[in-house]
Chains A and B, each alone.
Chain A
Amino acid sequence: MRLLQNIAKVYLRFLSRRVFARISVHWFDSNSPERLSLSSFLGIYLSMVTKISIQNLRKIYDTPERRVHALEGVNLNIEDGEFICLVGLSGCGKTTLLNMLAGFVEITAGTITMDGRPLTQDFDKGVVFQEYALFPWRTARQNVEYGLEIRNVPEEERTRIAQDYLRLVRLEEFADFFPHNLSGGMRQRVAVARAMAFDPQILLMDEPFGALDAQTREELQELTVDVWQKTKKTILYVTHNLSEAVYLGNRIVVFVPNPGRIREIVRVDLPRPRDDLAPEFIKLQRHVNDLIRDF
């Protein structure tokens, strides 16, 4: 059923975006762009379901003092609407990967494609940072509206969208507060709302709740799943907390360091909402833990 839906969705998108030329050039150089053959559709289907494709990615930081081989041979295909968690010891390149996806740092070698095209700087991404990255001079609402202003959304609509997303993160009443008057957890919720309101194609979250206390973190994890289920965004989520990874992800990408590379990709098929005390949950968590540590 899900597959059929997907196919229908993709087919519509396929037509509406008039992708013949682009895709066929990309995938089947010799094909005539006018004809929609089954094989080309299949190719396109695959390219469409695969939202992001990362191939042989390498990152080397060259600093005057030393050379850091941060990432090597990273291959990862991310489907549209997937929730991917990235875990691994400190320094194994998780932030680096996220930063490359966001366009903050250059790629040394390899490719990242999105919807079959090489990644450009200006695709719509939402980023939630580990540090508080709200603009202190804007109220919660104005922070959420920022991306919409950049996109020249008319003011009324902006306000309405901001209101919707503030409601989604349950902060309606705090819309006119400045960030320094909000608690840490509330600030990160505003940050999530800001990233979502921009209606990004993918959401990149780098240990967004790492600095929060356990209760608040749990609450925000639930909220994140909730938001994800409602909006069906593709999410890449970095965390140190394995329980969090198993709770949130469809798949968990386990990194190991020196140089940073993917050790294994663990699929999590537990039904949601997940119970972090269930034996399968704990078993999975232990499995991931073993993967991270001994290599």
Chain B
Amino acid sequence: MAKPLSFPEDIFEQEMGQGMRPETEAELAEIIRVANGPFVVRGGGTRSVGACEGAVLETGGLSGVVLYEPGALTLVAGAGTPLAQVEAQLAAEGQRLPFEVPDMRGLLGCSGESTLGGVVAANASGPRRVQAGACRDSLIGVRFVDGAGTVIKNGGRVMKNVTGYDLVKLMAGSWGTLGVLSEVSFKLLPVPETGATLILRGLSDAQAVQAMASALGSPFEVNGAAHWPGEGTFLRIEGFAASVAYRAAQLRRHLAAFGALEIEEGTARWAGIRDVTPFHGRNGDVWRISVKPSDAPGLVARMRADAVLYDWGGGLIWALAEPGTDLRAALGAFEGHATRVRGAGPGAFQPESPGVAALTRGLRAKFDPRGILNSGLMGA
């Protein structure tokens, strides 16, 4: 239970101005508890999708690494902790967040400091998702304040935990609609000794998806598989030097039917795929579409986008489309979901089936009974 706190005189006046920025979890809880108005929950504002109205409630004050145990591969930090700070601290110990957080600032045309809470709220996951899982798979604990101002914790700091319901997963990708994250815990991975990028050129989209499927279905531990039409089809392997060399040679043989495989040292190229640099500086709406990989080329043909980038072996399509195009209408019924990550108007998130939408509404009504957290976002 949060005990009553005294605030600096001006904390509620800020509501009118630039918004509120609690410095502690208890302060965050109290702000929400006594509030009536809607809030727009904000980490660094570097990966916002869709729009909603209200006073800005910033988490940047809830910053700092609470615990980092390299020998246990675990990190606990305030939700407002800058991603860059954490990445640097992990790198110093030869570790990293497994899921390769995309930097969306170039794509969204914004600046600011990405926070861990924002990463979790967006379930932001890059190319390594195909092998190491999404953000939700590495997230092992959360603390958050619900829409009534109550502090709730779930999970913890250990990797294996099935005690009670997994609200940790529920919070990942909830875009601030169920609560405001105050603390998050992650499981980490060591940074491999080295890596290589394998490139096939000149493949059609369909051939590329087949080549990526073949590579991902091999035992050679491919942890990135992307296709940039016109540019090439890219595979990434990482590990100890001898192992990377061995697997590169094996993959060259394994993929011989798709043409000659170029082997590029290092993995520098993957930041561009992760951050969708091919779309930077180009006009239009940007869509992020999760599909069954083998469906991807057919869907791309149907959507008639200005440009596309395939990641996750085809399971993730980034599409650049004419502003205001309803890409979902062009796609028709398909298995998966499409989110408009850049562009104006309603309907950024994929509409849900009636049964699932009812559950979502029910959960939001429980966690945020007054409907004050990012109200209007994600359909409800």
Q: Do chains A and B interact in one complex?
A: no
Q: Which residues of B contact A (CB under 8 A)?
A: none
Q: Which residues of A contact B (CB under 8 A)?
A: none
